[in-house]
Amino acid sequence: MLPQVASRSWYHSYDAFRSVPKDLSEASTSGASMTLLAMVTCIVLFVCEMQAFLTCKLSTRIVIDSNQDETLKINFDVTMIDMNCDFVTVGVWDAFGTDRMNVTRNVMKQRIDHKGERTGHAYTEDEVAELEFSDASFTSEELAELDSDWGSSSDHFKHDNFQGVVDAHDFTMVNFYAD
């Protein structure tokens, strides 16, 4: 029994929050008032915070931009290597996210090579449409050659060697007739 009392005494020696025995303490009216005030304050604070936590407030606010200009100039520079310019689009929606704005008319696209160097000229959509529909004056022989390329996908009767095929066309697709 003695070792247990000694271990408890040793354990209690580390108590940092010692209490005064009841016979040495005295209750006062001011101490009771302060205690009750602190308890009421804590209860009111707890109830108010719980009510604010459980209450759901919905608020909607719309702010109108004071800028009256019809257009807004936005400069952006995006580099996408190995992607054709035809497949790159820009999506712009209104502030509510419901209506998509048409901004492709004013977007300039610049072709680049695999090193990121600019090749060719940057054209707008209007300039590209104008170039596509412009009157290209071809001779009847050139038109016949162009039409013959579309009429048959096999032109292996026109060339004697593979290098001749590659040199004759901008793009060369090879079908090895594999089954």
Say which residue, 147 or 131, is predicted with more confidence.
Answer: 131
Q: What is the pTM for the complete model shown?
A: 0.28
**What is d(CA 41, CA 48) in angstroms, rounded to the nearest whole number?**
11
Reading phi first (left if > 0) and then psi (alpha if -120 to 50, else beta), residue 109 is in beta
The predicted-structure confidence for 19-73, as pLDDT tens digits, reads as follows 888 888 888 888 899 999 999 999 999 999 999 999 988 888 888 777 777 777 7
Q: What percent of the chain has pLDDT over 90?
A: 13
Q: What percent of the chain has pLDDT over 70?
A: 82
What pLDDT, on the 0 to 100 scale, is given for residue 38? 95
Which of 174, 154, 149, 152 is closest to 163 using CA atoms?
174
Which of 129, 146, 141, 83 is closest to 110 using CA atoms?
83
What pLDDT, on the 0 to 100 scale, is given for residue 136? 67
**What is d(CA 134, CA 152) in angstroms, rounded to the nearest whole number?**
26
Residue 158 has pLDDT above 70, yes or no: no
Domain ranges of the chain: 72-151
